[in-house]
Amino acid sequence: MVTVGTIVWLSSELMFFAGLFAAYFTIRNISPELWSQQTAKLDIPYATANTTILVLSSVTCQFGVFAAERGKAGRSGKLLQFKQWGMREWFVLTYFMGAVFIAGQATEYATLVTENTTISSSAYGSMFFLATGFHGLHVIGGLIAFLLVIGRTLVARKFTHEQAISAIVVSYYWHFVDIVWVGLFATIYLIK
């Protein structure tokens, strides 16, 4: 039931982001000269590196799911023996990568603000900060979910099927957030 509920909820989130995409393309169509001026301020190599970190975090998240499906909450070997890692180690690495992504977004925001691109400066600024900001809030929500799953397995004496299901559901959310970002990245940074 939790899995089905999560998929239904993610469908509603997809509609929310579809609305942001529609608004972005509508305003862009109305003011193409504004878009060419403002997109020139974007640091595409920086954003690409930040995007790569987020996309790779989906890989580490999935390794955590594989460990959870095997019933392995924690590592059985030394810390640098990746093949011996459990769900917690993979999720901690995913959490770290997600936090680096958020820090990268905050740095990009600070740079854009110094260049007079803010949420109130223009329609472009409004759409850029709304779309990427709401995505950032979703990433932060995913980071909190990782902490809850990790903490739950640390407190429990035994790793249960329910805990494995929780890990899988959190991975659905994380993969969703990553896919949405790939769409946002392509729309905002690559399409001229």
Domains annotated for the chain, with CATH where assigned, are: 2-190 (1.20.120.80)
Report yes or no: 145 and 173 within 8 Å, Cβ to Cβ.
yes
**Which residues have a Cβ under 8 Å from the Cβ of 105 and sit 6 or more positions away?**
50, 132, 136
pLDDT of residue 3: 67
Nearest C-alpha neighbor of 55 from the set 101, 14, 106:
101
- Please list the pLDDT of the chain residue by residue as tens digits (192 residues): 666 777 787 788 888 888 888 988 898 888 888 888 888 899 999 999 999 999 999 999 999 999 999 888 777 878 777 788 888 999 999 999 999 999 999 999 999 999 999 999 888 899 999 999 999 999 999 999 999 999 988 887 788 888 888 899 999 999 999 999 999 999 999 987
Q: Within 13 Å, how many C-alpha atoms sit on residue 60's CB side?
A: 20
Provide the residue type at 81 as one letter.
Q
pTM of the model as a whole: 0.88
pLDDT of residue 103: 98
Nearest C-alpha neighbor of 167 from the set 183, 153, 178:
153
* Start-to-end CA span in the chain (Å): 43
Cα torsion for 53, 56, 58, 62, to the nearest 10°? Answer: -140
pLDDT of residue 149: 93
pLDDT of residue 82: 73
Cα separation, 83 vs 39, in Å, equals 43
Residue identified by tokens 């803010």 is: 118
- Both tokens of 127, joined, read 């759409």
